[in-house]
């Protein structure tokens, strides 16, 4: 349950920062992005204070580039918030959604939305798309 709360807190912080970039209020004494950043930081600090021991997030990802990206994020973003990232590398595109649905992993990071939606409907998974990811272009 702490993992869900931490994941929700980090996601809320990212969303607050991204929404702040959508506009500014010139009547405010402080620029909107700075105020949103402070608010997001407060949310994350509250969540982190509740987690005494490092929380472990298990994420399944394809090797390149997704696992590489997550390994770069570990020291920069996650350790600051008392989170250990357990990355499981896979080359199988069908196992990660099943693992998340079964509770064997907290998230996966590798697919585009149409693939996810198809997997969800075909297998009856009760999982949700939290955010989009980049997609590598293919050339033939």
Annotated domain spans of the chain: 2-50, 55-123
In this model, does residue 113 exceed pLDDT 80?
yes
Q: What is the dotted CATH code of the domain comprising 55-123?
A: 3.40.190.10
- Residue 90 phi, psi dihedral angles, 5° rounding: -145, 155
Average pLDDT over residues 12-18: 45
Check whether 92 has a pLDDT greater than 50: yes
- Average pLDDT of 73-98? 87
Q: Quick check: 28 pLDDT over 60?
A: no
Range among 25-29, 63-67, 69-73, 97-101 rated most confident: 97-101
Confidence of residue 44 (pLDDT cuts 50, 70, 90): low
Q: Give percent of the chain above pLDDT 70.
A: 65
Measure CA of the first residue to CA of the last residue in the chain; give whole Å.
Answer: 45
> What is the reported pTM?
0.59
């Amino acid at each position: 349950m702490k993992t869900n709360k931490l994941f929700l807190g980090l996601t809320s912080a990212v969303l607050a920062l991204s929404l702040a970039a959508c506009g500014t209020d010139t009547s405010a004494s402080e620029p909107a992005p700075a105020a949103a950043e402070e608010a997001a930081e407060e949310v994350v600090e509250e969540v982190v204070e509740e987690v005494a021991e490092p929380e472990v997030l298990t994420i399944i990802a394809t090797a390149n580039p997704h696992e590489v990206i997550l390994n770069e994020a570990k020291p920069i973003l996650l350790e600051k918030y008392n989170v250990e990232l357990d990355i499981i590398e896979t080359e199988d595109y069908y196992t990660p959604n099943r693992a998340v649905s079964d509770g064997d992993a907290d998230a996966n990071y590798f697919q585009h939305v149409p693939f996810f939606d198809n997997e969800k409907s075909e297998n009856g998974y009760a999982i949700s798309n939290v955010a989009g990811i980049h997609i590598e272009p293919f050339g033939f």
